[in-house]
Amino acid sequence: MTERLRQVSLTGLGTPLMVLVMLAMMTLPLPTFVLDMLFTFSITLSLVVLLVSVYILKPLDFAAFPSVLLVATLLRLGLNIASTRVVLLHGHQGGDAAGKVIEAFGQVVIGGNYAVGLIVFAILIIINFVVVTKGAGRISEVTARFTLDAMPGKQMAIDADLNAGLINQDDARSRREEVAAEADFYGAMDGASKFVRGDAVAGILILFINLFGGLIIGMSQHDLDLGTATEFYALLTIGDGLVAQVPALLLSVAAALMVTRQGGSQDVASQMVGQIFNNPRVMYVTGGVLTAMGLIPGMPHVAFLSLAGASLGAGYMIDKREKQAQLALAVAAQQQAALPASAEPEIKELSWDDVQPVDIIGLEVGYRLIPLVDKAQDGKLMGRIKGVRKKLSQELGFLVPSVHIRDNLDLSPTSYRISLMGVSVGEASIYPEREMAINPGQVFGEMPGMTARDPAFGLPAVWIEPSQRDHAQTLGYTVVDASTVVATHLSQILQTHAAELLGHEEVEQLLKMLSKSAPKLVENLVPGTLPIGVVVKILQNLLQEQIPIRDLRTIAETLAEYGARSQNPVALTAAVRIALSRMIVQNINGLEPELPVVTLDRQLEQILQQSIQVGGEEGASIEPGLADRLLQSINRVAQRQEAAGQPTVLLTSPALRPTLARFVRYGVPGVHVLSYQEIPDTKQIKIVGTVGQ
């Protein structure tokens, strides 16, 4: 443990020590040997940063790059100050006055000719300042802007995956942190590119300051003639400038690589080799052009023809590799086809085993959608369907049955169909090679593509190319892939038809689980108080009104109390709703202390009460003309509440509640019908409207 703490402490001292070294270089005179070591360290650091930028898989793997760039730039500027002091103090002594590294760059790199040195330095500055730095700065600026603009769309996509059950809370949190880190990184890169640009300008100014300052000092203080002073100080100054510009150019290239690369499963080197040298036709054409140029009289035949041979050879190797891969696939297909066919089964008499039960939940797909459900082809739909089942099972309170998936050649190639108990309840067409950009209600532009409707909620949408995903998110669209579209549609259908998924077997399992913690309660309830069929009907009623049955203990205790008085499922469902009132209201309005409600006009309520007294709760009916006017009135109130961002709650008497709940369930989805007895004591009600005739 002590060794671990010591290692962490030493690791954290690197940057503070480097800052102290920079301050020392700016204020204290350094011997030439130390300067040589620091110049070498600067070049080494730049090489390391460049190679890390090449070999990382995505930019966020090197999130510290902006800080590293700042520290390396300040280190180099500190070295410029230290070397300037040495050059101006000891430049009259000759070429090695400022150290061996500066002398080597002044003598070896430019051959001791300060005119050549000035030209080489100017070219390096132009390459660094005009080409690399300017381009990287522009890309950083644009990327930072689009990354920030795309954040709302990415957040909505994460929320959509979370609501569809494709990811859990931890995955959503980590993805949100990654989106925020990406925005912070590109914002920092936009600022860091200004460091590199300013460093290039500082290099030009430092060169001219050192050159003119050296000439003045050499001629005035050391009695050197103009030629000697120019030779000494120009070579030292240019050598110093080149020593600084080489690591500066390396860091500029590293910054450009960071902002121009795409995240993926390969580093830059692998991507370049894999994408440039993957087409034999390109290499053949290149080899042919080089051969033609090499045969022209006067051209350097050896250079052109040798590269032409290399290009043709590379094309041949790539072509051979592709043919071998195709041959291997063909052989595998032939071997599969050559397997002995199973013997024709003997015809036997029919039995009850030949009568297959219908699937509780079925998903049929067209042949072009088979890769979505095939694990061998990296199909993601199977995993997402499991996520939907898990999320709904946790929310509803019982195990959602498994989904039986099969292909159906009667469907169009890109269509799918969802069925419950063998009856189709949903069907749509999707495009697996595209992504769906859904308009959530407010977007800042239109996307080109194939217009469609989100099959789950009917929102307007566009099928776009995957490369347009970031742009669509920037405009405010919620972008999901084809597998997510199917999974969301399935989730919405299962949630709407949850009551149909609960049967005797599921209720038996629920009671068996409850008996582990409350055995006497279950024993007294079934069959002592109520038959199992009545309990199933009550739980189905709750699910039909979107009420989870997770709190099975409270439901069972309420049924055990009221079951001795009545076995009417409607009356018992009302009693259970009152017992679950806190959960029901909390699901509607959260923890808000005040609940906005809509009430019925007194005269309308009396008319409806008379209808129930005549027909009973099960046989109550509303006169068609009155029903139409009532539906329109409720719809207007619901639209007004939705525009205000509030839920629509219709508050009525306990006798009217079941009838009105059935009436608005399909006429105005999303309206909650509560009775006066279902409002908890802790909630204050606020009447925001009245429904009349």
Cα Rg of the chain (Å, integer): 38
Does 2 score more than 50 pLDDT?
Answer: no
Q: Are residues 671 and 608 located together in one domain of the fold?
A: yes
**pLDDT value at residue 501:** 92
Confidence of residue 164 (pLDDT cuts 50, 70, 90): low
What are the distances in angstroms from CA 194 to CA 60, 73, 458? Answer: 20, 11, 47
111: alpha, beta or left? (left if phi > 0; alpha if psi -120 to 50): left
Q: Are residues 237 and 206 located together in one domain of the fold?
A: yes
Q: Which of 497, 526, 559 is the last residue of a domain?
A: 497
Q: Are residues 556 and 594 located together in one domain of the fold?
A: no
Q: What CATH number is attached to the domain comprising 462? A: 3.40.30.60
Confidence of residue 507 (pLDDT cuts 50, 70, 90): very high
Structure tokens belonging to residue 105: 């760059």
For residue 200, the one-letter residue type is A
For residue 580, the one-letter residue type is L
Q: Are residues 367 and 488 located together in one domain of the fold?
A: yes
Does 670 score more than 90 pLDDT?
Answer: no
Matching residue, tokens 């949630």: 495
Q: What is the pLDDT of residues 67-91, one digit of tens each?
A: 887 888 878 777 777 777 777 776 6
Q: Residue 583: how many CA atoms within 13 Å on its side-chain side? A: 17
Q: What is the Cα–Cα distance from 182 to 153, expressed in whole angstroms? A: 14
Structure tokens belonging to residue 404: 């039986």
Q: Which of 445, 462, 497 is the last residue of a domain?
A: 497
For residue 294, count other CB atoms closer than 10 A to its CB. Answer: 18
Read off the DSSP letter of residue 354: G
The pTM of this model reads 0.56
Which range is most confident: 127-136, 171-180, 296-305, 409-418?
409-418
Average pLDDT, the chain: 80
Q: Are residues 414 and 558 located together in one domain of the fold?
A: no
Q: Are residues 575 and 654 located together in one domain of the fold?
A: no
**pLDDT value at residue 348:** 66
Residue 270 lies in a domain: no
Confidence of residue 112 (pLDDT cuts 50, 70, 90): low
Confidence of residue 618 (pLDDT cuts 50, 70, 90): low
Residue 334 lies in a domain: no
Q: What is the pLDDT of residues 469-480, one digit of tens each?
A: 888 988 889 999
Structural contact between residues 350 and 343, judged by C-beta atoms closer than 8 angstroms: no
Q: Which of 522, 556, 579 is the last residue of a domain?
A: 579
Burial 396-425 (b: 16+ CB within 10 A, else e): bbbebbebebeebeebeebbbbbbbeeeeb
Q: Are residues 62 and 199 located together in one domain of the fold?
A: yes
CB-based contacts of 68, cutoff 8 Å, min separation 6: 49
Q: What is the pLDDT of residues 358-369, one digit of tens each?
A: 888 999 998 888
Does 659 score more than 90 pLDDT?
Answer: no
Q: What is the pLDDT of residues 177-207, one digit of tens each?
A: 887 777 777 777 777 777 777 777 777 777 7
**pLDDT value at residue 417:** 93
Which range is most confident: 3-12, 316-325, 447-456, 626-635?
447-456
Q: Are strands 423-429 and 450-453 parallel, antiparallel or unpaired?
A: unpaired
Matching residue, tokens 């913690």: 517
Choice among 10-14, 396-400, 537-541, 672-676 with the minimum mean pLDDT: 10-14
**pLDDT value at residue 536:** 93
Please tell me which residue, 317 or 623, carries the higher pLDDT value. 317
Q: What is the Cα–Cα distance from 562 to 435, expressed in whole angstroms? A: 53
Does 5 score more than 50 pLDDT?
Answer: no
Tell me the average pLDDT across 556-585: 91
Q: Are residues 203 and 294 located together in one domain of the fold?
A: no
CB-based contacts of 30, cutoff 8 Å, min separation 6: 24, 38, 82, 86
Q: Are residues 248 and 124 located together in one domain of the fold?
A: yes
Residue 337 lies in a domain: no
CA 292: distance to chain centroid? 50
Q: Are residues 559 and 604 located together in one domain of the fold?
A: no
Does 677 score more than 50 pLDDT?
Answer: yes
Q: What is the Cα–Cα distance from 229 to 235, expressed in whole angstroms? A: 10
Q: What is the Cα–Cα distance from 457 to 181, expressed in whole angstroms? A: 32
Quote the domain boundaries for residue 314. Answer: 277-318
Does 320 score more than 60 pLDDT?
Answer: yes
Q: Are residues 60 and 25 located together in one domain of the fold?
A: yes
**pLDDT value at residue 96:** 59
Q: Are residues 368 and 485 located together in one domain of the fold?
A: yes
**CA geometry: angle at 16 spanning 11 and 21, to 5°?**
120
Residue 281 lies in a domain: yes
If one counts the domains in the chain, the total is 5
Report the candidate in 690, 587, 692 with the shortest Cα–Cα distance to residue 640: 690
